[in-house]
Structure 1
Amino acid sequence: MSDHLKWRTSSYSDSEGSNCMEVASSPRIIHVRDSKLGPTGSWFRVRGSAWAASLAHAAGDGAGCGGLRNAG
């Protein structure tokens, strides 16, 4: 299934080939992989709602994460 997805590289990935994360979306699932491992490497998938909550938490607003906020 991975070969039918349109993968996008994170805007935070650097041009040196490290810290590379790629994502591909389908109707309700987000697929995530490490681009250094190539298309045959392992990847995981999460529900779109869980991905959105993770991004909100990483951004520090805590939305969708049970009201948790960054302690920093």
Structure 2
Amino acid sequence: MPGGKKAGLRNYSVRRSSPRSTRVVRLSDMGQAFLRDCAEVVGRFASLLHEFRTTRWMVPAPATFSRG
């Protein structure tokens, strides 16, 4: 493999002399519902992650059992 890179994992950049053009895409009703659901799940996850990061967990020491 040239340059020691795996096929499909090459990094490259494209230089453009003009600004990128944008394209307007309209989602179907199913696509809009999917996007709303995804946004809701991501929002819930972000909230839960924030809660985990800001909460100090009180974890008790593990119980030890002796035989005998």
**Common fold, TM-score beyond 0.5?**
no
Q: Could you say which structure has the greater relative contact order, defined with CA pairs below 8 angstroms and 6 or more residues apart?
A: 1
Higher CA-based Rg: 2
Q: Report the TM-score when normalising by structure 1.
A: 0.23
Q: TM-score, normalised by structure 2?
A: 0.24
Greater per-residue helix proportion: 2
Question: More strand by proportion, 1 or 2?
Answer: 1
